A and B are shown apart, each in its own frame.
Chain A
Amino acid sequence: MTEVLKPGSSEPPENIYLPHLAAIKEIREETQDIKTFKLVFQDEELRKSFTYKPGQFIEFSIFGVGESPFCLASSPTREGYIECSIKKMGKVTQAIHDLEEGDIVGIRGPYGNGFPVEEMKGKNLIFVGGGIGLAPLRSLIWNVIDRRDDFKDVIIVYGSRSIADLVYKDELKQWQNTPGVKLTLTVDPGGEAEDWKGEIGFVPTILEKVNPSPGNSLVITCGPPIMIKFVLVTLNKMNFSSQQIITTLERKMTCGLGKCGRCNIGSVYVCKDGPVFTYAQIEQFQEEI
């Protein structure tokens, strides 16, 4: 008990639960049930001072409804705003989908460790994403593209159930046209259309076909648990070590502060010590992931 408020002190300590106000600047419909929200903080100072790492998350408040954690999908290299891509699932996300441009929401954060961007410098990066799992990867991909010289080759394998379920469709084209970036898109069998030029097949299968080399490489993967499970099998086959595989874990992260008690895996709190982990770290957990 060192830095507590002295009785009578006029300066209250910072309130860790109080969100910052942010206005919705833009809403983009990515798919039938996913929207991307561009948010700008009301406080001008905060617009400049709010810094974050790809892979970190925020707690998104709809006043009077609830609060939920979402990863930051924008890149810290693009200043002045943040973006979150949100899939309509439950009470809070439904309310978020009902928002209009100009509405005010609450934002707490950023929380979590984020991707080890420094360690990625000078390496080949292989991004493997599925569905809305591309959102945290997008933050890192833009970060890498904006600092292209710091990183080596970029391979992106991204898939979804159907063409309609692919997110960031316009950006995918931009990535494709970036030198040193190789993008492979795929949809699950049956999710294609006649003019589909990408691959057809599940992400792990297509990853195997792309066959990236493990030399001086890191894999960053995010997507539904079942996809991750088989991506790991594939990577193992291709001789990637568990230290080379980075992913984000999903848990119910109510407070984001390592206090509320529900996101722990053993003594590790996903909201504070994660959500980004190497597969080598995950292998050490006793609980099943």
Chain B
Amino acid sequence: MTEKIVSKEDLKKILEGLMKTSELLAPGKEGDLVLFKPVKNPEEVFFAYPNSLKPVKEFFFPPREELFKHEIREGKVGLSSEHQENRKRVIWGVRPCDAKSLLMFDKMFDGEYKDSYYLEKRAKSVLVGLACNEPLDSCFCLSLNAGPHAKEGLDVLITDLGDDSYLVEGITAKGEELFQGCGKESGEGERTRKKELEEAAKKKIRKTCQPPPDLESFFEDPYWEKVSRKCISCGVCTYLCPTCFCFDLSYEGRDCIRFWDSCSFSPFTKMTSGENPRREKKTRYRQRVYHKFSYFKKNFGEIACVGCGRCLRECPVKVDIVEIVNQCSKDKTKD
């Protein structure tokens, strides 16, 4: 792993170069929102932001994706699946929590049935991380095997050291490649500064997520009815969640499309017969909690949450999944 120090000017030059050679995506402001979008001007790349409204999953698992086209001609059906161009894609400014979430997506889409649409996008993408120096009150990555300066899932990590200098840590070859031939070697002082920033950032994260080890035993508890009561069953938390991957398939005209769907919605599990195993709001909310903290763990060995805090920040009625998960065991012992 190489480490180097680059200046703001260096970064701008790198961005300018990447714009020419690759598809470059970075966070930028759109009205009051911070969203990842194609970079047209390096000046518009936003560095001092807590996190983007939508996680980077949208570039691997788009909200709506055309899978294939069908064509009926003279009574015959033809299918065509246009795979996207494999031009390199650089996603710049990914927060460590979002990078980690992609490793969970890998488990899902690179598993038993390999999803070519996802894997192609994964293969052509380079993730440039941006360490969090200013986590929000709603962040809780530390309690989920991640952290504001974590490198897992990234190709390279940039830390803003202040004074217009940045520490660049190469993680994979394709990440290092981007910074080849620029910057200077890092010194002891800069490495110490980076450590200090990391420690300071960690201290700012006070929210912790501690699901009880025996979550399964609360399944039938009336607790779920109580805590889901204020949930309005919209899709905000699931759509903005970096680890939620549920989808639906449909035809629109000649296209077969895949698009985001949410376990919060009642029709999600409703069968044509009218039967619906998750008709009640309580069962849907419980599904969300259990999928993240129990089922995914059982199937893939890890909790499907990276602590980005989007669901807490964006919930229209402030449902707090961390509080709900943490409280679950306490509530039980009280009875």
Residues of A bordering B, CB below 8 Å = 1-9, 12-19, 21, 61, 63-68, 89-90, 92-93, 102, 104, 106, 225, 250-252, 254-255, 257-267, 272, 286-288
Residues of A within 8 Å of B220, CB to CB, are 286
14 pairs, A vs B, C-beta closer than 8 Å: A4-B110, A5-B119, A7-B123, A8-B86, A17-B249, A21-B79, A63-B77, A89-B273, A92-B272, A106-B70, A250-B273, A251-B277, A258-B113, A266-B295
Residues of A within 8 Å of B21, CB to CB, are none
- Which of A5, A254, A262 touches B116 (beta carbons < 8 Å)? A5
Q: Binding site of A, secondary structure by majority: helix, strand, loop or mixed?
A: loop
Residues of B within 8 Å of A257, CB to CB, are 112-113
The residues in B between 5 and 50 inclusive whose CB is less than 8 angstroms from any CB of A are none
Q: Is the CB of A63 within 8 A of B249?
A: no
Among B112, B268, B277, B283, find the residue whose CB has the most chain A CB atoms closer than 10 A: B277
Residues of A within 8 Å of B261, CB to CB, are 260-262
Closest to A12 in B: B83
Q: Is the CB of B79 within 8 A of A260?
A: no
Among B81, B268, B272, B295, find the residue whose CB has the most chain A CB atoms closer than 10 A: B272
State A250–B272 Cα separation when bound (angstroms): 11
Q: A6-B123, A19-B79, A21-B77 are in contact. Are A259 and B250 (CB under 8 A)?
A: no
Q: Is the CB of A259 within 8 A of B109?
A: yes
The interface-forming segment of B132-140, B186-194, B252-260, B316-324 is: B252-260
Residues of B within 8 Å of A286, CB to CB, are 216, 219-220
The interface-forming segment of B142-150, B201-209, B225-233, B240-248 is: B240-248
State A1–B263 Cα separation when bound (angstroms): 27
Q: A3-B114, A5-B120, A286-B220 are in contact. Are A102 and B75 (CB under 8 A)?
A: yes
Residues of B within 8 Å of A267, CB to CB, are 294-295, 298-299
Q: Is the CB of B119 within 8 A of A18?
A: no
Besides the contacts A64-B253, A262-B261, what 8 more A-B pairs have beta carbons closer than 8 Å? A16-B114, A64-B254, A67-B249, A225-B275, A259-B245, A260-B249, A262-B246, A267-B298
B1 CB within 8 Å of chain A: no
B269 CB within 8 Å of chain A: yes
Residues of B within 8 Å of A287, CB to CB, are 219, 277, 283
Q: Is the CB of A5 within 8 A of B251?
A: no
Residues of B within 8 Å of A251, CB to CB, are 269, 271, 277
B124 CB within 8 Å of chain A: yes
Q: A104-B76, A267-B298 are in contact. Are A262 and B263 (CB under 8 A)?
A: yes
Q: A4-B110, A7-B88, A89-B273 are in contact. Are A64 and B116 (CB under 8 A)?
A: no
Residues of B within 8 Å of A61, CB to CB, are 251, 256
Q: How far is the CB of A241 from chain B (nearest CB, A)?
A: 25
10 nearest interchain CB pairs?
A: A261-B246, A90-B272, A267-B295, A4-B123, A13-B116, A63-B70, A267-B298, A104-B77, A257-B113, A89-B272
Closest to A111 in B: B113
